Structure 1
Amino acid sequence: MFKFEKEQSVWDFNGTKIGGQPGEYPTVLAASIFYNKHEVVLDDKTGKIDKEKAEALWNRCQVLSDTTGIPHFIQILAEYPEAFEKYISWFDSIDNKTAFLMDSSVPKALAHACKYVTDIGLAHRAIYNSINGSITPESIEALKNSDVDAAIVLAFNPADPSVAGREKVLVEGGVAGQVKGMLQIAEECGIKRPILDTAATPLGLGSGSAYREILACKAIHGYPTGGAYHNMTVAWTWLRRWKGTSKTPSLLAAGYAGKDALLQQMSHHYLGGIEGIKQAAWSAPDIGCNMIASTLGADLIMYGPIENVEAMITAQAYTDIAVLEAMRPLGIDVKADNHPIFKLI
């Protein structure tokens, strides 16, 4: 655990505070909803959803946040402007306080979302995701013309995944033709609450530097920092083969199916059977990769599908308590009344 000499910024999103020295505030989690092939999405173009199921998922997050003291943002994903409007409107109808990330691989849809939240007065709760090396002039203009003042700023450098390379993207630019650093672009777009994303990359392709960049971001810039570290697990080819898909059987199944051997023996003693064994093998690193980031000072963990909330939030609460206990001898103490140490100890 680390105490940073640099003064640490803290951003307030309607009472949810993010940033500061490790241990001062509980880590904020962000759950993804309406992602590709999410079962609650009935029509991804029009934004038609199963509202009852979607609300139940978010209610689980809120109940567990209240129980553990670990706060939540929600990460809304959409590929079409109309869908963005419907999703954001739905979320505001069931929760008029929590901040939401606006995320899309389609610049036009994300630009539309910026205008929409400005028009309906929700820009103060919106977090643009993300300002990165491939941001278009149209997206920059849309962000400038909006009231959105919070954004994820991505330290992704495909040419140089080292810490120095990631910092170059933030400060100097030079990625995908960008002549300006991401932080300069963010400032020019009116972003007053940047959250630095250290850009999780696959194992073997600079994943360790994504973790080290947490320390660099907080030590150099002092801004709240985090990332979507579960992407390291998703991109781990070996683990995907272990878990298996409908097209690719797991390594265990491929190695032992039809031999009446180890896998079948294991499944008899495991309540979840063969599928349970594969799921456990997947979920452990999927959660554990985030705990590494938390011990290094990450303030925001974007953990992926909202269905993973139980495993993620309990692991996060444990980590936050351990970090706080480690920081107290260094002169750092909790500044939040809702910290897990007050609820779970």
Structure 2
Amino acid sequence: MFKFEAEQKVYDIGGVQVGGQPGEWPTVLIASIFYQGDRNVIDEMAGEFNREAARACIDELVRVAQMTGTPVILDLVAASERAMVNYIDFVVEETELPFVIDGTVERVRLAGARHVVEHGVQARAIYDSIGTTTREHELAALRELALPTTLVLVLDNRRPTVAGRVSIAPKLIDLALSAGFRQLLLDTAVLDVVEPGPAGKAIFELKQRFGYPGGCSPTHTHRHRWKKRRGFGDLGERTAKTSTATSMQILGADFIMYGIKQTEIVPAMGMVDALIAFTAMQNGVQPKDDRHPLYTMFAT
């Protein structure tokens, strides 16, 4: 397994370690919940949802993740300020998991950011996100809130290539730091079905140069962009998505964003992490987590 030249940053986000050299820490699964089309959501604007069903989804994911040693963060996708507050309250009350403040627009994101600060749970929160469209009004509000962690959407819409992502990264990193964030997670932005290729290569290049944790949402476009997926059947589609996602780990991804109900990704991620760690040990890199999949998946 390769070893990145830059010093690798590792962040503690609500007890979950993100970053490092391949083989040191398990790849984090950032699991989306309350997204558009989630059948557990009753009213996306009011933030009404089936609490029992949502709790069952989270419990099942945590159960499988504990079997593999895969760390979990929840991605709270909200369409309104009220919904964001409701989702945050639910996750804080029902779990100890870190979570992403994933608002569809600025006012929703900021409502979530203010709420976590007011309730003192900002150490568990990840802002989503800082990017080329972030305006000064949002940056000014974030400076006052002083959240520690944000995703940085590393994408140049005029040049959505590996080189474009890498060249715009310093500007976006500086922008996030100027907003008071100390812990940056670089999201290399997948735009189409085959975009995980350039996005994955960009993760490698960015970690090699800057050392920040990197990852992406590799398969969120499949539902609308992969027109022939149904021809392969449910198993074929799920297999294709899983292999696409886990290929990011081979390129050094520290986190993968995926749907919470698709728990088949968890053992696949764990197995790939185990293979990476075993190979990295031959380069002198040791797992830093006693619950690493290399140990957890094969313990009897």
- Whether TM exceeds 0.5 here: the answer is yes
Deviation string, structure 1 residues 11-59 (Cα, Å, up to 9, x no partner): 0123211111001011100111001121111111221111111101101
Deviation string, structure 1 residues 275-332 (Cα, Å, up to 9, x no partner): xx521222122111111110111000001x21102x1001001100111111111111
Q: Using a 3 Å threshold, how does the CA distance of structure 1 residues 213 and 335 change in structure 2: closer, same or farther? A: same
- 2:137 matched residue in structure 1: 138
Asked whether the equivalents of residues 115 and 142 of structure 1 are also in contact (C-alpha less than 8 Å), the reply is no
Please give the residue correspondences for 1:50-65 in structure 2 after superposition, counting only pairs within 5 Å.
Answer: 50-65=50-65
The amino acid that maps onto 2:97 is T
Q: Give the Å deviation of 1:76.
A: 0.1
Is 1:213 matched up with 2:202? yes
Rounded to whole Å, the distance in 2 between the matches of 1:325 and 1:234 is: 34
Is 1:338 matched up with 2:291? yes
Asked whether the equivalents of residues 13 and 98 of structure 1 are also in contact (C-alpha less than 8 Å), the reply is no
TM-score by length of 2: 0.95
- 2:267 matched residue in structure 1: 314
- 2:114 matched residue in structure 1: 115
Please give the residue correspondences for 1:210-289 in structure 2 after superposition, counting only pairs within 5 Å.
Answer: 210-234=199-223, 237=225, 239-243=226-230, 252=231, 278-289=233-244
Matched residue count: 298
When the two chains are superposed, the root-mean-square deviation of aligned CA atoms in Å is: 1.5
Asked whether the equivalents of residues 40 and 49 of structure 1 are also in contact (C-alpha less than 8 Å), the reply is yes
Deviation string, structure 1 residues 124-178 (Cα, Å, up to 9, x no partner): 111011111111222212221213110111111121122221122222xxxxxxx
SS at match of 2:285: coil
Asked whether the equivalents of residues 165 and 188 of structure 2 are also in contact (C-alpha less than 8 Å), the reply is yes
Asked whether the equivalents of residues 207 and 232 of structure 1 are also in contact (C-alpha less than 8 Å), the reply is no
The amino acid that maps onto 2:246 is M
Rounded to whole Å, the distance in 1 between the matches of 2:14 and 2:123 is: 9
- 1:270 matched residue in structure 2: none
SS at match of 1:145: helix
Deviates more, 1:315-324 or 1:135-144: 135-144
Rounded to whole Å, the distance in 2 between the matches of 1:155 and 1:193 is: 15
Rounded to whole Å, the distance in 2 between the matches of 1:87 and 1:232 is: 24
2:185 to 170, 189, 195: 195
Find the structure with the greater CA-based Rg.
1
Asked whether the equivalents of residues 45 and 83 of structure 1 are also in contact (C-alpha less than 8 Å), the reply is yes
SS at match of 2:282: helix
Rounded to whole Å, the distance in 2 between the matches of 1:322 and 1:292 is: 12
SS at match of 1:194: strand
Query: Which runs of 5 or more structure 2 residues have no equivalent in the other structure?
Result: none
Asked whether the equivalents of residues 150 and 184 of structure 2 are also in contact (C-alpha less than 8 Å), the reply is yes
TM-score by length of 1: 0.83
- 2:89 matched residue in structure 1: 89
Give the ranges of 4+ consecutive aligned residues of structure 1 lying more than 4 Å apart after TM superposition.
none
Rounded to whole Å, the distance in 2 between the matches of 1:285 and 1:101 is: 26
SS at match of 2:112: helix
The amino acid that maps onto 1:288 is S
SS at match of 1:307: coil
- 2:245 matched residue in structure 1: 290
SS at match of 2:26: coil
